[in-house]
Amino acid sequence: MSCKKSYITTPIYYVNDVAHIGHAYTTIIADSLARYSRLIGEDTYFLTGTDEHGQKIEESAKSRGREPQEYADEVSKKFRDLWDDFNISYDKFIRTTDAEHKKGAQKAFSVMNKKGDVYKDTYQGHYCISCETFFPELQLVDGEFCPDCGKSTSVVEEESYFFKLSAYEDRLLAWYRDNPNCILPKSKRNEVIRFVEGGLNDLSITRTSFDWGVKLPKEFNEPKHVMYVWLDALMNYVTALGYGTDDKNMDYWPARVHLIGKDILRFHAIYWPAFLMSLDLPLPKHIGAHGWWTRNGEKMSKSKGNVVNPKEVADAYGLENFRYFMLREVPFGGDGDFSQRALMDRINSDLGNDLGNLVNRLMGMSRKYFEGRVESDLVKKYYQKELDEVQLSLDKLEPFIFELQLHRFLEELWRPLTVANRAIDKYQPWTMIKEGKSDETMALNGLIATILAKVSIMLHAVMPKTTDSIAKSLGFEISPESFEKYIRNDEVLASFTMEKRDALFPRIEKELLVDKHLEALKKEKEEREAKEAKKREAEKNGTTTDGIALIGIEQFFQTSIKIGTVVKAEEVKKSKKLLLLQVDIGEEYTRQIVAGIKEWYSAEDILNTQVCVVANLKPAKLMGMKSEGMLLAAKDGDGLCLIRPEKPKSNGTSIS
């Protein structure tokens, strides 16, 4: 499987968002592959970068009152800073606003045109700005919404250049058929095949309704057109190597693997190979599509407030522990739910108990019995069976890496650690030493050290600094040379003296990050439950939730409420509160009502307006005046208002 040049890429990230663990995941997988590829002595080139053109970025910048270029500069730098902080070993960080990239993309456009693959027409259809994708009406959900992200699409009718994608259907199908591993995992390849077999439409590859994009080559003389952002973006994989400018690194092409998320598979597995065929360039060896990281089963999104910040996780739990967790926890291609509990378990169990503890045991045994000295000369004599078992596991590992089965890789890599821990329990060095079996004990330490060395080398791509530190304690350095020696040639570790060292993976007892999202969910749940409990309690007591006794309908009808019109209104001189009203409620005589509403209504305000009157109240006296009813009103912090019919109603109409 090994090839001399190894070109590994991540997607280029849109600059309309900050990085979350989904972005970190793609980048960490790619970084691990690149590191592994370098370790086995391949000439490796690792590319990442940012995707900066298109309507989505233009609109994002505008909504913040910024120029797109200035905005893209800022967000692109954030990605780059994060990857630097994460020790990502990229060889080039490309930006689609780089002059060389734009030149290369224009060159590609010209070449496709000369090939006869480009023609001008009118595009009529629907565009999802969020996915930067065109959709035929048939694919829309409810005739409007994007089938991928669910957001509303906009109707576009504009002059456009098209790429003859339909002409590549057969060649694409032949490529998938002849290269069973071209799309990984294989289940994804089947999805792509089914999609292409369903028929491909030609692809609109220019836009005229905005201008934040790569201009068309001069010979087109089309100042209004910019390149479709996915054409521009996909080209990054070759422009980064000098396509269309100096061709300097084009000998790295074709890519060994393009790592992507499953949401952008169609662009990479259909458009991209078709573009490459049109450009007469070889096709990538593998396209690896991973699944989604979710939160409590939900897709992460800013609006839901459930996005996990990779920097926070790495700062709290350790960057390399986080890397290990991401690659070990989820089978490549499947979705994974992020939880601190699962992360802690991996750290405490796999890393702490299995690996860290073994280093500790070796340190303890070698220092107690041999002043730290570890010699492996006799390992083969006493422990060949264990060595063979370890080698068997190691031999299985490499295919897992390049078939992107990183969880299997790590799972298998843990077997030698089990062999080592089991050997200690089985041979009991504390008994052997008492029995004077010094050689056997030393050889056992040599076996443990050899196993730790081999595992560290293989784990290096995933946990570079941690394994460097283990290697230092074991007196060697991880490099292509030590890979050759200890992995390929199956040698035992050279003698060394083990110094005292700190524990590698201190136990984590409780979650280290306050999970704001979970806390908010918890609070919401508590509030909901409290409300429900209150409701149940009220039902039990025969009251409303604010403690008012429930009544039957017959009790309600004992109150007679009627519409009336105020036919006379005067202020009660000596009172700040009272108005004296005569209200016609459809009876022979008007009712006299003394109402405490003077603070909010003048006599003039209320005269000739309709009100609701409680008509069967026993008359009462207020300031010596008889009151034969009560007006309905509502009062809150803002004051009082009368309750009135929405439309005029005959006086005397009953309210029910």
Query: Is 75 a binder of ligand MSP (CB under 6 A)?
Result: no
Among 11, 68, 104, 629, binds ligand MSP (CB under 6 A): 11
Residue 259: CB minimum distance to ligand MSP, A = 8
Comparison of 169 and 337: residue with beta carbon closer to ligand MSP: 337
Distance between CA atoms of residues 615 and 586, nearest Å: 11
Token digits of residue 372: 């730290």
Residue 213: CB minimum distance to ligand MSP, A = 13
Considering only residues 262 to 291 of the shown chain, the ones binding ligand MSP according to CB under 6 A are: 263-264
In 520-584, at which residue ranges do the beta strands (DSSP E only) sit?
Answer: 561-571, 579-584
The one-letter code for the residue type at 599 is E
Comparison of 56 and 460: residue with beta carbon closer to ligand MSP: 56
- Kindly give, in sequence order, each residue whose CB lies less than 8 Å from that of residue 509, ignoring residues fewer than 6 positions away: none
Comparison of 140 and 149: residue with beta carbon closer to ligand MSP: 149
Write b or e for each residue in 31-57: b if 16 or more Cβ atoms lie within 10 A of its Cβ, otherwise e: bbbbbbbbbbbbebbbbbbbbbbbbbb
Using the rule CB under 6 A, give the single segment among 12-20, 134-142, 415-423, 551-559 that binds ligand MSP. Answer: 12-20
Q: Which residue is nearest to ligand MSP (CB)?
A: 261
Residue 209: CB minimum distance to ligand MSP, A = 20
Using the rule CB under 6 A, give the single segment among 8-16, 58-66, 315-323, 540-548 that binds ligand MSP. Answer: 8-16
The vertex-234 CA angle with 135 and 217, nearest 5°, equals 95
Comparison of 108 and 492: residue with beta carbon closer to ligand MSP: 108
Token digits of residue 242: 């000098």
Considering only residues 42 to 71 of the shown chain, the ones binding ligand MSP according to CB under 6 A are: 51
Query: Is 129 a binder of ligand MSP (CB under 6 A)?
Result: no
Using the rule CB under 6 A, give the single segment among 22-30, 411-419, 546-554, 579-587 that binds ligand MSP. Answer: 22-30
Distance between CA atoms of residues 12 and 326, nearest Å: 20
Query: Is 12 a binder of ligand MSP (CB under 6 A)?
Result: yes
Distance, C-alpha 342 to centroid of its chain? 17
Token digits of residue 274: 């078709």
Query: Is 337 a binder of ligand MSP (CB under 6 A)?
Result: no
Residue 292: CB minimum distance to ligand MSP, A = 4
Comparison of 192 and 390: residue with beta carbon closer to ligand MSP: 192
Using the rule CB under 6 A, give the single segment among 170-178, 229-237, 507-515, 533-541 that binds ligand MSP. Answer: 229-237
Residue 360: CB minimum distance to ligand MSP, A = 35
Comparison of 13 and 427: residue with beta carbon closer to ligand MSP: 13
Among 112, 270, 287, 300, binds ligand MSP (CB under 6 A): 300
Write b or e for each residue in 312-321: b if 16 or more Cβ atoms lie within 10 A of its Cβ, otherwise e: ebbebbbbbb
Among 7, 8, 13, 128, binds ligand MSP (CB under 6 A): 13
Among 210, 220, 292, 370, binds ligand MSP (CB under 6 A): 292
Residue 179: CB minimum distance to ligand MSP, A = 20
Distance between CA atoms of residues 589 and 592, nearest Å: 9
Write b or e for each residue in 461-476: b if 16 or more Cβ atoms lie within 10 A of its Cβ, otherwise e: bbbbebbebbbebbbb
Residue 339: CB minimum distance to ligand MSP, A = 14
Comparison of 236 and 582: residue with beta carbon closer to ligand MSP: 236
Query: Is 234 a binder of ligand MSP (CB under 6 A)?
Result: yes
Query: Is 293 a binder of ligand MSP (CB under 6 A)?
Result: yes
Residue 48: name the closest of 88, 9, 101, 1 by CA: 9
Considering only residues 583 to 622 of the shown chain, the ones binding ligand MSP according to CB under 6 A are: none
Comparison of 326 and 424: residue with beta carbon closer to ligand MSP: 326
Using the rule CB under 6 A, give the single segment among 191-199, 201-209, 232-240, 461-469 that binds ligand MSP. Answer: 232-240
Considering only residues 245 to 264 of the shown chain, the ones binding ligand MSP according to CB under 6 A are: 260-261, 263-264
Among 6, 7, 8, 22, binds ligand MSP (CB under 6 A): 22
In 490-552, at which residue ranges do the beta strands (DSSP E only) sit?
Answer: 496-497
Distance between CA atoms of residues 321 and 466, nearest Å: 9
Beta carbons of 405 and 413 less than 8 angstroms apart: no
Residue 320: CB minimum distance to ligand MSP, A = 20
Beta carbons of 581 and 564 less than 8 angstroms apart: no
Distance between CA atoms of residues 337 and 330, nearest Å: 9
Residue 13: CB minimum distance to ligand MSP, A = 4
Residue 338: CB minimum distance to ligand MSP, A = 9
Distance between CA atoms of residues 207 and 227, nearest Å: 6
Comparison of 14 and 123: residue with beta carbon closer to ligand MSP: 14
Comparison of 94 and 182: residue with beta carbon closer to ligand MSP: 94
In terms of Cβ atoms closer than 10 Å to its own Cβ (0-12, 13-18, 19+), residue 11 is: buried
Residue 193: CB minimum distance to ligand MSP, A = 21
Comparison of 234 and 461: residue with beta carbon closer to ligand MSP: 234
Query: Is 25 a binder of ligand MSP (CB under 6 A)?
Result: yes
Distance, C-alpha 427 to centroid of its chain? 48
Beta carbons of 89 and 465 less than 8 angstroms apart: no
Token digits of residue 16: 């309309």
Distance between CA atoms of residues 456 and 478, nearest Å: 8
Query: Is 14 a binder of ligand MSP (CB under 6 A)?
Result: yes
In whole angstroms, how far apart are CA 326 and each of 152, 290, 604?
A: 33, 12, 75
In 10 A of CB 604, how many CB atoms? 9
Query: Is 213 a binder of ligand MSP (CB under 6 A)?
Result: no
Comparison of 128 and 300: residue with beta carbon closer to ligand MSP: 300
Residue 126: CB minimum distance to ligand MSP, A = 19
Residue 127: CB minimum distance to ligand MSP, A = 16
Query: Of all helices (H) and strands (E), which one includes residue 286?
Result: strand 286-290
Residue 613, SS3 per DSSP: strand
Distance between CA atoms of residues 391 and 406, nearest Å: 19
Using the rule CB under 6 A, give the single segment among 21-29, 122-130, 434-442, 467-475 that binds ligand MSP. Answer: 21-29
Distance between CA atoms of residues 84 and 81, nearest Å: 5
Read off the DSSP letter of residue 218.
Answer: G
The one-letter code for the residue type at 283 is L
Comparison of 51 and 386: residue with beta carbon closer to ligand MSP: 51
Q: How many residues bind ligand MSP (CB under 6 A)?
A: 19
- Kindly give, in sequence order, each residue whose CB lies less than 8 Å from that of residue 5, ignoring residues fewer than 6 positions away: 42, 43, 44, 45, 251, 252, 256
Q: Give the max Cα distance, the chain.
A: 123
Residue 9: CB minimum distance to ligand MSP, A = 8
Residues that bind ligand MSP (CB under 6 A): 11-14, 22-23, 25-26, 51, 233-234, 236, 260-261, 263-264, 292-293, 300
